[in-house]
Amino acid sequence: MLYALGVVGFALAILISVSLHEAGHMVTAKRFGMKVTRFFVGFGPTMFSFRRGETEYGVKWIPLGGFCKIVGMTPQDDDIDPEDEPRAMWRFPVWKRTIVMSAGSITHFALALVALWFAAAFVGLPNPDLPKDDTEVRSQPAQVFVGECVKIQASERPCAVGTGTDIASPAFAAGLRTNDVITQVGTTPVDNYGELTDTIRAQQPGPVPFTYVRDGQTGTATVTLVAVERAPIGDPDGPVQRVALAGVNWTTTKPAFVTYGATGAFPAVGDYAQQLVVGTFESLKKIPEKVPALWNSITGSERDPETPISVVGASRLGGEAIAAGLPQYFLMIFIALNVFIGIFNLLPLLPLDGGHIAIAWFERVRSWLYAKLKRPDPGRVDYFKLMPVTYAVILIGGAFTLLTVTADIVNPISIFR
């Protein structure tokens, strides 16, 4: 029940944010005197609508976004009444058109910032003191998590003793427990988790003494290492090798999320927002190379957790977060998705908002340059000539969306793996 509520709640939150995106366009357009004839939430057949002034507002049956109709977005629009010609959007100064077209993305950024402040003040943001990648984990103290099961053969499925080749954890059987700090393996001292894993893998399978610290007391446990199949450290796609394994992983007693209070939240929001923006651009650059992995996840391979997700996948993650009692993850996914949508919409490609902004400034710069050269103004860009590129973007975007939605249904990413 909680899972279903989380899924529906997340989908509704995204629908509201996309509707506010369109409201951002509408409000700024009206403020500048442009004419907005329609504002609808959803697509398809109309559920209901009403008119206030010159604008029709309504809701449609397919809740997959929304739209607003601003008269004369391009000079080629042929549905403008003669009395509305002076209010056509393309006739307004470029800076006003830029504000109107960027207002949608700005709305997403504002939503993300408000949600970030709320998370920082009351729910928690990811602890900045925790390592951010495997390289940083290897430099941490050798404080370990000790489970009760290990897999002889690497797999993403849950581990269960007696299932296939899964066996009881040698470390747990020897008496090691979670939060123990390993200081020596055999005769080799270890100063961090990286040295611990390298030293264990270098051992021969069989009994090896482990020196550890627990609650300030030093102890020794004899761990019977087992031979397992694993990829090289730092290269999960590398050739599988037979190495020794104890059944320990890195852990920490530091909290995963920290709160900052109402005032202290502001600098924390700034730091985390910067990380999100940088991470979003990095993710955008990696999208082309992730397409094969998405396809493979549909055809039977394990889903790469670094592959893109759709709104369907994000909603499922939101449902998992609520069902597990982890509202922090719900908020983090919502925030990250709003930042991604906001940045993506500003890419200089039609039919995205950024495409219209790019054309407006291209026209402005070209007119200025021609004036400097004392040549006639070439006028407005002919959008009809750009239609092949626009259709190509729509086709590629539609295919990619279909691919991610299918992967999120057939082989979804989970916050628990």
Helices 311-323 and 387-410 cross at an angle (nearest 10°) of 30
| Owner of token pair 């999320």 | 257
Return all residues near 159 (Cβ < 8 A) that are at least 6 apart. Answer: 147, 149, 150, 151, 166
* 22 belongs to the catalytic site: yes
Return all residues near 215 (Cβ < 8 A) that are at least 6 apart. Answer: none
How many Cα atoms are found within 13 Å in the side-chain-facing hemisphere of 381? 20
Beta bridge partners of 146: 248
What whole-number distance in Å separates Cα of residue 59 and Cα of residue 15? 12
Burial class, 368, CB count within 10 angstroms (exposed 0-12 / middle 13-18 / buried 19+) = exposed
Identify which of 73, 116, 167 has the alpha carbon closest to the alpha carbon of residue 355.
Answer: 73
What whole-number distance in Å separates Cα of residue 24 and Cα of residue 17? 10
What whole-number distance in Å separates Cα of residue 228 and Cα of residue 235? 16
- DSSP-derived letter for residue 153 is B
DSSP of 34-56? --EEEEEEEEEEEEEEEEETTEE
Query: 364 with 270: CB under 8 angstroms?
Result: no
Name the token pair of 159: 């581990």
Of the residues 22, 156, 289, 302, only one is catalytic, namely 22
Name the residues annotated as catalytic: 22
